[in-house]
Homo-oligomer: A and B are copies of this chain.
Amino acid sequence: MLINIKEKEIAYMFNFHINAVDGETRSGIFHTPHGDIPTPIFAPVGTQATVKALTPAQLEELDASLILANTYHLYLRPSDDLIAKMGGLHQFMNWQKPILTDSGGFQVFSLAKMRKIDEDGVTFKSHIDGGKHRLTPEKAIAIQENLGADIIMAFDECAPPYDQTYNQEAMQRTHRWAERCLQAKTRPDQALFGIVQGGVFPELRCKSAQTISDMGFPGHAIGGLSVGETKAEMYATIEIVNEILPSEKPRYLMGVGTPKDLIEGVRRGIDIFDCVLPTRLARHNAAMTRNGRFNMMNARFAEDENPIDPNCSCYTCTQFSRAYIRHLIQAREILASTLLSIHNIHTLLQLCREMRQAITDGKFNSFAQQALDTLTKDHIR
């Protein structure tokens, strides 16, 4: 009964309107208390309450409509209590549009110095100072309620993709934790998404998709992908899961962010993506374009007056040459990271805009084929 009331409140604030469908692919608008998210959408990652090297004003200029922040990092520093005191994450980082926080689960398993899992939760040591901490489903929800993002995530366990026994255990624990997250949640202005796990094992993914779907979350995520499995396995898993996840609710593919994966994900019915890739590549001198990646430190750009991508309309490409970007990299100037982050995020957001238009026009397949043909492999040239 309690859950039913909550569900109604959530459904009211978090309507997902699908405007156009083209095969498995769809385009729509996900309404949140901090504004509308047009889908398919890519969410830049602001791990520590800042998308690295960018001001919120620059993110607004990029027309980002959703950003992600990391519960694990913010819990450890500056702490969710402090952020709550400061009026919540939107106010703290001065981002008034939608925010999604992950549950901290993935980071505990990938970043923490030590971790010990039991049925109730995880004990781990901070990667910052080695301090001992404990996360449980209830604690992960409490932290995310302190942070106050629009979309919050159930606490899950992400297992290595090829260990079937461990994946089965982790998946079952993730399901039990998902129930506890639903029970723990109190804020009506946050949508809690469930996470499907199960590694590369179709029967586990089916089971997980069915179990999580049955719990009545207002949206669903696919976790445990882009963590070492092959592209073929990733795409097959998305297909298996999306066939089961209810199509009327948003689907979020966690941690995925190459242009090719965005296209392949949307083709299979994904609505939301996030990834550190565009900003991380920027800090490693790489430009993401619709023709593949480029190492902007390459000497061939030294006297190149062209923008990174002549077809790109971002601030970086309309105002600066490859030669200047290369100089900034050589001179180890912070501006290199800023300009490349702007460009890389623009590349993914522009791809999403074009995919939405193609879906609306009923031309997604031809658009996707053409876009994939111009993309070379995801290695840096």
Contact = CB atoms under 8 A, between A and B. Distances in A.
Contacts of A254: none
Contacts of A331: 48, 50, 73, 77-78
Q: How many copies does the complex hold?
A: 2
Interface stretch (A51-59, A143-151, A176-184): A51-59
Contact of A303 (B53, B85, B319): B85
A53 B334 CA distance: 5
Contacts of A327: 48-49, 77-78, 82, 92
Contacts of A367: none
A330 B77 contact: yes
Most buried by B among A93, A328, A333, A335: A335
Interface string A310-331: 0000010001110110111011
A86 B315 contact: no
Contacts of A315: 55, 57
A250 to B, nearest CB: 29
Interface in A61-96: 73, 77-78, 82, 85-87, 92-94
Interface residues of A, number: 40
B48 A324 contact: no
Contacts of A323: 78, 82, 86, 92
Contact of A334 (B49, B56, B94, B334): B334
21 contacts: A48-B327, A48-B333, A50-B328, A50-B331, A50-B333, A52-B334, A52-B335, A53-B334, A55-B315, A55-B335, A77-B327, A77-B330, A78-B302, A78-B323, A78-B326, A82-B302, A82-B303, A82-B327, A93-B324, A94-B324, A338-B338
A101 interface: no
B335 A54 contact: yes
B335 A50 contact: yes
A337 interface: yes
A229 interface: no
Given A86-B305, A302-B82, A334 B335 contact: no
Closest 9 CB pairs of A and B: A48-B331, A78-B327, A53-B334, A50-B335, A94-B319, A50-B333, A86-B323, A92-B324, A94-B320
